[in-house]
Amino acid sequence: MTAAAGTLAGRGAVVTGASRGIGLAIARRLAAAGARVAMLARSADVLAARAAELGAAALPVPCDVTDADAVARATRVITLSFGAPPDILVNNAGVFHPRPVEATPPAEFTDVLRVNLIATFHLVHALLGEMRVRGRGHIVSIGSIADRMTFPGNGAYSASKFGARALHQVMREELRGSGVRTTLVSPASVDTDMWDGLAATGRFPARDAMLPADAVAAAVLFALEQPDRVNIDELRLSSA
């Protein structure tokens, strides 16, 4: 299927954390389905290189998504480039620093919440209003098995992901009947470079037993491709 004939042809999407891992896999899937994809990440050089691989469908937008002013500027750039506000938001950016609660520096705990939860709110706040006005749009949140289960060493990460789940559930209730859809995609461990130096500790699954990033991207695309009257509230992914 060519991009011009894709199921998302004519739609504009924003994907955060798009320079690697799950975010990059999602950006690739959406571009292949015909969407114009604004790829957000902090690493400008890496982001530009990954966007070049996707071709004309990709728009690299360097942005610190924890900074509300930076998100507002990025939103203006995207809207001008697309010629309209984006139709799709995929909140994927995240960090993971597993430590016992007493060993977690307060600054690190705050940073995890800023990236995994507060940045999600910044993007939603910047884009949801226009979606409501148009009566259409789709917000996808990338959650985790840790948004509903607790594990030792996950104090900061679970707090952020439980919060992101709560934000999704509130939006789902607020947006019923508005034409704006919301989906939470919650995978088990995914094989990305987030695990570099961690999987070998024996505390986590082996990398080859984890989900591939493209499986998460496929789940996101599945939710986005549903008819307008269908909302996929939640998808939970685990290894077979």
Task: Compute the distance between CA of residue 29 and CA of residue 193 in angstroms, rounded to an integer.
Answer: 19
Q: What per-residue confidence (pLDDT) applies to 2?
A: 43
Q: How confident is the model at residue 36 (pLDDT cuts 50, 70, 90)?
A: very high
DSSP 200-229: GGSSS--GGGSEEHHHHHHHHHHHHTS-TT
Averaged pLDDT, 23-51: 97
Q: How confident is the model at residue 100 (pLDDT cuts 50, 70, 90)?
A: very high
Token pair for 197: 């130096």
Measured in whole angstroms, the distance separating CA 91 from the mean position of its chain's CA atoms is 3
User: What is the set of domains in the chain, with CATH numbers?
Assistant: 3-237 (3.40.50.720)
Distance (Å, whole) CA 152 – CA 34:
42
Please list the active-site residues: 157
Judge residue 190's burial from the number of C-beta atoms within 10 Å of its C-beta, 0-12 exposed, 13-18 middle, 19 or more buried: buried
What is each CA distance from 164 to 94, 131, 143, 205, 206, in whole angstroms? 11, 20, 7, 24, 26
Query: Can you give the pTM of this predicted structure?
Result: 0.93
Candidates 195, 181, 191, 144; CA nearest to 25 is 191
User: At residue 117, does pLDDT exceed 80?
Assistant: yes
Q: What is the pLDDT of residue 192?
A: 85
Given pLDDT bands bounded at 50, 70 and 90, which one contains residue 18?
very high
Q: Does residue 12 surpass a pLDDT of 80?
A: yes
Interval 194-221: pLDDT, tens: 767 675 566 777 778 889 999 999 999 9
DSSP bridge pairs for 184: 141, 234
- Give the pLDDT band of residue 84 (cuts 50, 70, 90): very high
